[in-house]
Amino acid sequence: MAQSPLKYPDATADKAVANGDRWYNWADGFRWLEDETQERTQTWIEAQKELYASYMANRTQVLGWKQRLKIYYDYPKWGSPVLAGPYRFETFNPGLRNQAWLLRYTEGAETPDTLVDPLQWAADGSQSMAAWAPDSSGRWLAVAISDAGSDWRTIRIMDLSTLQWLDEEISQVKFSGVSWAGKGFFYSKFPQQSKDLTSQNQGQQLRYHAIGTEVEQDPIVFEWPQNPRYGVYGYTTPDQQWLIVSISPGTYGNMLKAVRLKDGIPVSDSFSTLTREFDSESSVVWHQNDRLYLYTNHEAPNRKLVRLKPGDQSRQWETIIPEHPEKVLQNVKPWKKGWLVLYTHKVSSELWYFRDGADPMPVALPYKGSISGLSVKENHSTAYFTLTTYAMPPTVFALNFGQQVPVAMHGSQKPGIGKDIEIRQEWMNASDGERVPMYIVQRKDRKAGPGPCLLYGYGGFNISILPFYQPWFHAFVEAGGTLVVPALRGGAEFGEAWHQAGMKDRKERVFLDMEEAAEFLIEKNITRPEWLAVHGRSNGGLLVGAVLTRRPDLFAVALPSVGVLDMMRFHKFTIGHAWRSEYGDPDDSLDAVSILRYSPLHNLNFNTHYPATLVLTADHDDRVVPSHSYKFTAAMQQAASAHKPVLIRIDTSVGHGAGKSIDAQMNEFAEVLSFMELWMNPWP
């Protein structure tokens, strides 16, 4: 599609910028864009916003796509129920509301109580309820509030007997849970201030807050001064008799310690060590008869459930549910003297009930998809979960004990939505001989032959990309496009071995999987390069940046969103240092060699015909700081040939993605779809 070359904002590269005692190519000259306090950085940002606004101005496609998106966003959105005391708590959004309510149901009452309405904090939806947790009696509610999408949280407490907020506010909370015990709860915080969106997060502490006490006096329950970069996270067993502390050097691997509690207070200064090494991951799920139950991938890549006695140094764990050779254990909950077990099998969810002396009983799911929000109390007669697919919004199901068939509790879809969509799974043979599956989502009446296609991927951090509902994906498919989501190495779809195959010095295998998936789609006549768009977020943004620089010939459009794009400096900001367990350490000479081979910023080439590229970031992203996107955009605008645009969309009062208002989502994705339509011609 021929258009006049764009005049990009001036971004002079500083010549010969050093990185330690080593020197890299010209792309490092844009490091000045890391400092948003500089006038020239602010000038560049504002100029990029103006360029993008002028490019998208008067695009009739944007309004058309936004009208379509309303159809797919406008459905009732229910969260999976949480039981506490005599109450049931749920989030609810009737459709296009910018933030959901938190509701409380009382047995016998006709209508629920509205406990929290985030739109009372900010009418535009820029403040969100990032997390919430009632205590076990249903008397108190802790709510973690995020401002403008930041990962920083402020915890507030509501007295549920009066529905009034207490004066107590806890700030500087980040990457933390809220775990009740006794008259208060455990939480994790950093010494850094919550307005600091770029400096490294170090020195995390686990603290305890008792209701009615001064927040400044909250005692430090646990910290790890041996290495201030380690994460410290605490939670209690369901009976609140044990505090479990997880210590993590990065995003993979943890050590577990435990201490007995009495009324929420540790009975000893000495913690028992449950797991010692950082080469596996474990999580405690239950306590009974002085034994702790945990699921782990220690010597079990697909995970198993084991039982142990705190303080036992023999490491003679008793296996309760053994590792399955083909299924990955994702979650396990004690229920009615047995276990409700969630598996991943061939990139979809399975739910089973295990009980000693009986054959495991499968739960008959109404359709193939992914389960989230598994919620159950040990002695309650009903378990809850949410099920979704690429064509159907999440639906909450209730499973009564003793039954195999769950009942839809809250219907989340409008009649007819998704009924014309076909979802199938195909497997490709990767170049190393591995079989890699992918979901292909199309209209049932789509004409045979190649057409517009969106290839989405993630491939990292031991995260499984199971079927999920994304309204703008649905709109694209209903308009005649094809959505393809491969299960890339680096994820957890097939256990820890799958993860290990795509991390550190094996990271390039992830990009090969994505490139070979693109070639597979072209070979199968599903699409052609001139109709193929590639998209990913965060680590998936790295994926897009890597494949567009490695194989620009494969794609018409590239959409790297909130991506890790400067792989030599990701560890310098906020929580980036934790990602070294996934990517390797850029300050290590051996790791740097493999990282430099694919770092998107460092692998751009001059006068190259890159795809039409729309980089997406946000001004309050304090996880993958926006300078990644700034530097990559400035470098690519100078490197790319002028035949296709390189633009950046910088969202305001938005973070890495969580808690984003419905309006902000629809505005972004209407523009993304419009950009795709411009450069994937002819559109069907």
Please report the pLDDT score of residue 20 as a whole number.
45
Phi, psi of 557 (to 5 degrees): -135, 140
Task: Provide the pLDDT for residue 22.
Answer: 46
Task: Decide if 343 contacts 328 (C-beta within 8 A).
Answer: yes
Q: Which amino acid is at 171?
A: S
Residue 210 lies in a domain: no
Task: Name residues of the chain where pLDDT drops below 70.
Answer: 1-4, 16-25, 313-314, 411-417, 684
CA distance 563 to 512: 18
478 Cβ contact list (under 8 Å, min separation 6): 68, 72, 420, 421, 443
Structural domain includes residue 301: no
Q: What are phi and psi of 47, to 5 degrees?
A: -65, -35
Q: Decide: 521 and 527 in contact? Cβ < 8 Å.
A: yes
Assigned domain for 598 exists: yes
DSSP state of 27: G
Q: If we measure between CA atoms, which residue out of 434, 408, 431, 384 comes closest to residue 82?
A: 384
pLDDT, position 3: 57
Residue 90 maps to a domain? no
Chain centroid offset of residue 126 CA: 19
> Domain check: are 392 and 438 in the same one?
no
Predicted confidence at residue 1, as pLDDT, reads 45
349 is an active site residue: no
| Residues 437 and 501 placed together within one structural domain of the fold | yes
Q: Is residue 278 part of a domain?
A: no
| 675 three-class SS | helix
Residue indicated by tokens 């068939």: 405
Residues 370 and 491 in one domain: no
pLDDT in tens, 314-359: 678 999 999 999 999 999 999 999 999 999 999 999 999 999 889 9
- Containing H/E element for 261? strand 255-262
**Residue closest to 659 by CA, chosen among 49, 111, 87, 154:** 154
Record the pTM. 0.97
Residues 569 and 615 in one domain: yes
Query: What is the identity of the amino acid at 418?
Result: G
Whether 656 is a known active-site residue: answer yes
**CATH code where residue 449 lies:** 3.40.50.1820
- The answer to whether the bond into 682 is cis (omega within 30° of 0) is yes
Query: In this structure, what token pair is assigned to residue 650?
Result: 């910088």
- The 8-class DSSP code of residue 640 comes to B
Tokens representing 635 are: 């470098």
* 497 shares a domain with 362: no
Question: Is the Cα dihedral 486, 492, 497, 499 positive or negative?
Answer: positive
Digit-coded pLDDT (tens) for 503-557: 999 999 999 999 999 999 999 999 999 999 999 999 999 999 999 999 999 999 9
Structural domain includes residue 541: yes
Do residues 437 and 425 lie in contact, with contact meaning Cβ atoms separated by under 8 Å? yes
| CB neighbour list of residue 402: distance below 8 Å, 6 or more residues apart | none
DSSP secondary structure letter of residue 429: E
Cβ–Cβ under 8 Å, residues 610 and 552: yes
The predicted pLDDT at position 428 comes to 98
Asked which of 375, 395, 413 is the last residue of a domain, the reply is 413
Number of domains in the chain: 2
Three-state DSSP string of 449-490: CCCCEEEECCCCCCCCCCCCCCHHHHHHHHCCCEEEEECCCC
Ramachandran angles phi, psi of 61, nearest 5°:
-60, -35
Residues 474 and 347 both lie in one domain: no
**155 domain residue, yes or no:** no
Q: Tell which of 392, 413, 434 closes a domain.
A: 413
Do 537 and 485 fall into the same domain? yes
For residue 567, give its domain range.
Answer: 24-71+417-679
User: What is the spatial distance between Cα 660 and Cα 614, in angstroms, rounded to a whole number?
Assistant: 20
Residue count of the chain: 684
Mean pLDDT value across the chain: 94
Q: Checking phi first, is residue 337 left (phi over 0); if not, alpha (psi -120 to 50) or beta?
A: left
- Which of 623, 577, 573, 568 minimizes the C-alpha distance to 601? 568
Of the residues 362, 387, 413, the one at which a domain ends = 413
| Helix H or strand E encompassing 353 | strand 349-354
| Dist. CA 502–CA 633, nearest whole Å | 26
Whether residues 535 and 509 share a domain: the answer is yes
Q: Which helix (H) or strand (E) holds 62?
A: helix 60-73
At residue 60, the 3 state secondary structure works out as helix
| Cα-based torsion angle of the residue sequence 304, 310, 316, 319 in order, rounded to the nearest 10 degrees | -30
Q: Tell me how far apart the terminal alpha carbons of the chain are, to the nearest angstrom.
A: 16
Indicate whether 442 and 407 sit together in one domain.
no
Catalytic residue, chosen from 80, 126, 538, 674, is 538
Same domain (yes/no): 462, 569: yes
Say if 206 falls within a structural domain. no
- In this structure, how many other beta carbons lie within 10 angstroms of the beta carbon of residue 296? 23
Query: Which pLDDT does position 5 carry in this prediction?
Result: 78
Residues 404, 421 share a domain: no
The first and second tokens of residue 76, run together, are 């009732």
Which pair of tokens denotes residue 477? 């498919």
Task: Please pick, among 209, 287, 577, 656, the residue that the annotation labels catalytic.
Answer: 656
> Cα 396 to chain center, whole Å?
20
Based on the domain organization, do 395 and 469 belong to the same domain?
no
